[in-house]
Amino acid sequence: MTLIQPFIEYGFMRRALVACIALAVSATPLGVFLSLRRMSLMGDALSHAVLPGAAIGYLISGLSLVAMGIGGVIAGLAVALLSGAVSRFTPLKEDASLSGFYLGSLALGVTLVSLRGSSVDLLNVLFGSLLAVDNSALLLVGFIAVFTLFMLAVIFRPLVIDAFDPDFLRSQGKWGAPLVHGIFLLLVVMNLVAGFQVLGTLMSVGLMMLPATSARFWSRHLAWMLVIAMGLAIVSAFTGLTLSWYLSLPAGPAVVLSAAVLFFVSVLAGPCGGMLRRR
């Protein structure tokens, strides 16, 4: 009873938990597919890439969730498309071009926020303010979660094929593979924007990737990996928020740190390739 008491008594704790659960349900499946496609670092890069768009929305409309969200989506997609174009038309690999764009985007975003905002605003943008999630932010995160689950159901089969046999998907039609890849990137950027509203740009990718990579140590079946990843993310959210309440820790980093602890436990003791099981 003591563990759930803060969530019973305080509305801001309930809103924070619901926001994290919505992110867990929608973002972690995307993290599983990023991991399977060996694109894990792209999630981290895109989480930084949304910052200048969100900063421009902040300069125009202040702390408006709609303006910052739209700006973040546009900036994230622009960086993804530009890095893909550079890798296609130059000898530079996509990971190298993406690193150049996202580092520039991070610096630009921090500069733009600093022009008008205070150091507190900058900290909120970079690290989020999980316990300050209001109803409008909760509605935005919930909408993105529902839209993500619907689109994943629509493109699930070609997305699985693209993860395991991309050449076969390309052979089925000229526009099939690029369309699936484009929708997938859009969903990743939208969920990073949702995470940005809750956990900040530096932490939003943590809840997406850490449970996803942990799940690979507990099952080799895709369906179970998706379920386990979502479960680990929800456990991380509950544990992190509980620790933040009783130990006076920052909520967002506590949630991501809980996910990191579960990742290390999975690496050590996971039945599918864990270090102790191998020995």
CATH class for the region spanning 5-278: mainly alpha
For the cut 90, the answer to whether the pLDDT of residue 190 exceeds it is no
Task: Pick the more confident residue, 140 or 163.
Answer: 140
Structural domain boundaries in the chain: 5-278
Q: What is the pLDDT of residues 166-183, one digit of tens each?
A: 666 666 665 567 788 888
Taking CA atoms, 29 is separated from 149, 197, 222, in Å, by 9, 19, 10
Average pLDDT, the chain: 82
* More confidently predicted of 8 and 45: 8
The residues, any chain, with a CB within 8 Å of residue 53's CB and separated by 6 or more, are: 68, 70, 71, 72, 73, 74, 75, 76, 78, 109
pLDDT at 10 over 80: yes
pLDDT 10s digits, 42-58? 777 777 778 888 778 87
- Among residues 187, 225, 205, the alpha carbon closest in space to that of 36 is found at 225
